[in-house]
Each structure stands twice: as structure tokens, then as C-alpha cells.
């Protein structure tokens, strides 16, 4: 089976932060079978969706990466929806709306894909990706392809079994509910307006929320209270309208963004003794200072 693969791939234009150097080897599977073949032959490869929540180092990555955004097939059968991991949330949200199906209205403002949303249990506007989930097809390096029911996925705020056991989402089945399409569209429009008001537009390179909310608190509130809004390092700055977003406004580097994250983390820790946990991922390893900063931020 011939699989699309590129060596010394310049990844910058595919990333939401518009950072990133060359990746030694990148695979682009288009089906579950291709994905399994690649991972069986390259067990050390790291897996990402469309890099909407990942800061990629400008110093590159000396390893193998699998990007699943070409695994983007889905089908709608009555109220049942089966979607591959690479299907983008907004596309699926619009598709089910046209069929008068409710449950994905929150996805309209998310740039991420189904696999990533399940992995982190993405949520907004009182909806979560786990709400309508029936089952998930995952790949485990130990067990191969495994199917889990919703109850077996261990969903909690911004986490799932996938993160704890290093499982890779390949496909998911959902059961939505019938509703008037116009009502669904109205909710989606409100969600988009909210995003425009409280989150930077995607034309400003960003990866969404930088830090997870601590239990019973808000990362945005904590960061706002320590006065980080508008703070900049190099070409990266904290968005003026919300303190938990970093935008790459002037060709900022991955080092600029990590340094800014460290400033945010440090100020909150000094004032509240709370150690914020990153919501975004980092792909790098070739720069000592970046490695130091990420180890502090991720506690690894």
C-alpha cells in the first residue's frame, strides 16, 4: 500500500501558530488501514491532527510525525454519525445541521478535528464532544485497534483515557438528536459571534487557550489579575481582549511563544501558588532553552 510521505518537510504553513522548522519525516494517511500500516512500521512516530493546538519548534523535529488531517471521511445515517479522526469540527457541525441534527453546534468555532477534540474532550457553550459519543475506535501500540464505549473513555474536563494511556483516536460514532435546522443554525451563529468577541480570529495566528482552567477557577481570570494582557516577547504577544491567548502578531518564533508562556506561568505561580497546566502541545527537542522551558511548563 503506497502511503504519502515527505522527508525534511517544512511544516510552518500547516501550523496554527505559523511556527515550525523541518520535520525529518511526515506521513499523511488517508484511511484507518493506511494509518495502522504506518504506525506498525514506525512505532516511534508522533501523531497529530491538523496542528491546531500544537506549538512546533522553529528548530524542527528530528523524528517521524503522522498527520491525520487527510483521514476526513464521515457518514450520516439517520441520527447516527460516523466520523474519521481528521474531519474538522466546523465542517461536521455544518453537515449535521443540514440534516437537522443537534449536538455539534459548539464545534462551529473550533478549528480542531474530531480526533483531537475527543482526546481532550473539547467543550464550549454547555456542550462537549463526549455528550453524544457512542464509541471510539482507537489505536494502541500495545493492543492494536481497540473499540471503547463512551463509559470506558474516562472523560473529564479537558481530558480522556486517550491522554492517560497514549491512545490514538481513529474514528468515532455519535448519536445526535433531531431538531429544527433553523434553530441549530441560530445557535451556531451565536457561538461564532461569541468566539469573535472573546477569542482572536484565526487570521491572527493562535492555538486557542494556552492554559487549562484550574479546578474551580479560570486561567483567564488568574492571568488577567496578574496584568499580563498585552505583554509581548519578540513577535508574540498576549491578546489584549483575553489574557489566556497568545497571538503571533509579527513573525514571532516558537522561542518567543514559550518564553511568553513561561512569564504567564511564573506570574500566576508567584501570586497564587497555582501552577497552570498547558492546554497546547509542543513538538520540538532540538533547542536546549526551549526544552528547559517546556519541561518546567509541562512538569515533565
**Block residue for cell numbers 478535528:** 113
Q: Indicate which residue of 93, 209, 255, 259 is catalytic.
A: 209
The three-point CA angle 210-82-202 to 5° equals 30
Helix (H) or strand (E) holding 39: helix 32-41
164 carries an active-site annotation: no
Q: What is the dihedral of CA 51, 55, 58, 62, to 10 degrees?
A: -70
161 carries an active-site annotation: no
DSSP letters spanning 88-150: BHHHHHHHHHHTTEES-GGGGG--SBHHHHHHTT-EETTEETTTTEEEEEEEETTTEEEEEEG
158 carries an active-site annotation: yes
Q: Beta-carbon neighbour count of residue 44 at 10 Å?
A: 8
193 Cβ contact partners less than 8 Å away, ≥ 6 residues apart: none
**Residue 289 to residues 141, 258, 274, 284, 296, Cα–Cα distance (Å):** 31, 9, 23, 11, 11
Query: Up-side HSE of residue 144: CA atoms within 13 Å toward CB?
Result: 2
Q: Indicate which residue of 30, 158, 165, 277 is catalytic.
A: 158
φ, ψ of residue 129 in degrees (nearest 5): -65, -25
Q: Indicate which residue of 30, 165, 277, 279 is catalytic.
A: 279
Q: Which residues are catalytic?
A: 158, 209, 279
Amino acid at each position: 500500500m503506497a502511503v504519502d510521505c515527505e522527508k525534511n518537510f517544512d511544516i510552518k504553513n500547516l501550523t496554527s501558530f505559523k511556527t515550525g522548522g523541518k520535520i525529518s519525516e511526515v506521513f499523511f494517511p488517508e484511511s484507518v488501514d493506511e494509518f495502522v500500516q504506518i504506525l506498525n512500521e514506525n512505532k516511534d512516530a508522533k501523531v497529530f491532527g491538523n496542528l491546531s493546538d500544537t506549538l512546533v519548534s522553529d528548530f524542527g523535529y528530528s523524528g517521524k510525525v503522522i498527520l491525520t488531517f487527510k483521514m476526513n471521511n464521515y457518514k450520516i445515517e439517520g441520527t447516527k454519525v460516523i466520523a474519521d479522526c481528521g474531519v474538522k469540527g466546523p465542517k461536521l457541525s455544518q453537515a449535521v445541521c443540514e440534516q437537522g441534527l443537534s449536538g455539534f453546534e459548539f464545534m462551529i468555532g473550533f478549528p480542531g478535528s474530531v480526533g483531537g477534540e475527543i482526546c481532550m474532550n473539547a467543550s464550549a457553550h454547555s456542550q462537549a464532544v463526549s455528550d453524544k459519543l457512542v464509541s471510539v475506535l482507537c489505536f494502541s501500540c500495545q493492543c492494536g485497534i481497540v473499540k471503547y464505549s463512551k463509559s470506558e473513555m474516562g472523560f473529564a474536563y479537558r481530558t480522556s483515557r486517550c491522554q492517560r494511556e497514549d491512545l490514538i483516536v481513529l474514528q468515532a460514532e455519535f448519536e445526535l438528536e433531531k431538531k429544527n435546522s433553523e434553530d441549530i443554525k441560530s445557535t451556531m451563529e451565536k457561538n461564532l459571534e461569541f468566539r469573535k468577541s472573546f477569542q482572536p480570529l484565526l487570521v491572527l495566528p493562535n492555538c486557542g487557550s494556552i492554559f487549562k482552567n484550574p479546578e474551580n477557577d479560570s486561567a483567564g481570570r488568574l492571568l488577567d489579575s496578574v496584568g499580563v494582557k498585552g505583554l509581548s516577547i519578540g513577535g508574540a504577544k498576549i491578546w489584549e481582549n483575553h489574557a489566556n491567548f497568545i497571538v503571533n502578531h509579527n513573525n514571532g518564533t516558537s522561542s518567543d511563544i514559550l518564553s511568553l508562556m513561561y512569564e504567564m506561568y511564573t506570574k500566576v505561580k508567584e501570586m497564587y501558588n497555582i501552577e497552570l497546566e498547558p492546554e497546547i502541545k509542543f513538538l520540538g527537542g532540538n533547542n536546549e532553552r526551549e526544552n528547559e522551558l517546556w519541561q518546567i511548563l509541562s512538569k515533565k
